[in-house]
Structure 1
Amino acid sequence: MGNLKQSFIAGLFSIITIGILTLLTYKTEFGIFLIASFGSSMVLLYGYPESPFAQPKNVFFGHLVTSIVGMFFLYLIPLPLFIIIPLAVGFGVGLMILLNVTHPPAGGNPIIVIMGSVSLDYLLSPIISGSIIILVFAIIINKFILKKSYPKTK
């Protein structure tokens, strides 16, 4: 029965969080707040908030680092897409692990960045602003509503 409750709550709060990001993206003039990898972040933030991969430092910097890596390859490495995409993903994953900010959903960000040919503004919105929004929701929901120890203290 605990699994049923956890899955319901994770699904419900994923709907709410992604719903807010979607409304901000499509119903305001504030910019883009939504990326596909945030959907995967919901699995960790609401399904497994105790995971090291779901901690705020990992979520924020994981998304930021891999997006920067994607932009580095997109703008500075003059090779065909079929070469820079796997290189960017590999470097992004390796850098997250090296910096101890691993967030598995962020591993897809270089693909999103390169295939979308995004501008540098992409780092501010959706990466930084969207990450902050999902983390605020994760803290409110996990810490204050569900009374879980989130962010996890050492």
Structure 2
Amino acid sequence: MRRDLRQVAADAIRRNDRHNALAGAVAGVGAAIAIGVMEWFSLESHYPLVIIPFATSIVLVIGSPQVEPAQPRALIGGHVVSTLVGLAVLHCTGPQAWAAAAAVGLAVLAMYVTGTFHPPAGINPLLVVSNNLPWSFLFAPVLAGALLLAAFAYLWHRWVRRRPWPQRWL
């Protein structure tokens, strides 16, 4: 009986059955673990968790791993590109409300042009400009966090769900 229950759970996770509460619970556990790691990272980097822009990325990568914005190029590149845009706009304009809006628009354009479109990364330039964040924000938490999230997603999908991820690296 015990083995049967584990097999049912493993099968539900592998097929990612949206109507199965167990699959949803397991995905929720994965997202909670990833957010817990981000919370630890926020404490270490001295940025409040609300400034670390990965909660929606985690939901996308865990919940819809097959879509283009959930692939590593978009996940990592989108966060880096949009943060760079925010930092450049901040450097040129200062922390103005209109500049934050312009930075988000420019970041969307930059992600499209570079093939790194990742919708959750659209918050990065808003955070950068609104909070007058330093260039170090690009490396920790953004780059380090995006790399950690990609590694987490890889392990989650390969080891827990037993499914291939990513569909493509670049």
TM-score (norm 2): 0.81
Partner of 1:145: 160
Distance 1:33-1:55 versus aligned 2 partners, 3 A rule: farther
Rg comparison, structure with higher value: 2
Partner of 2:92: 76
How many angstroms apart in 1 are the aligned matches of 2:107 and 2:87?
Answer: 11
AA at the equivalent of 1:129: A
Partner of 2:6: none
1:9 positional shift: 2.2
Q: Does 1:96 align with 2:96?
A: no
Partner of 2:82: 66
Q: Does 1:125 align with 2:125?
A: no
For residue 45 of structure 1, the aligned residue among 52, 61, 85 is: 61
Per mean C-alpha deviation after superposition, the further-off stretch among 115-124 and 2-11 is 2-11
Partner of 1:109: 124
Q: Does 1:20 align with 2:32?
A: no
How many angstroms apart in 2 are the aligned matches of 1:119 and 1:89?
Answer: 17
Identity %: 28
Unaligned runs of 5+ in 1: none
The number of aligned residues is 151
Alignment RMSD, CA only? Answer: 2.0
Contact 1:45 1:54 in 2 (8 A): yes
Distance 1:126-1:72 versus aligned 2 partners, 3 A rule: same
TM-score (norm 1): 0.89
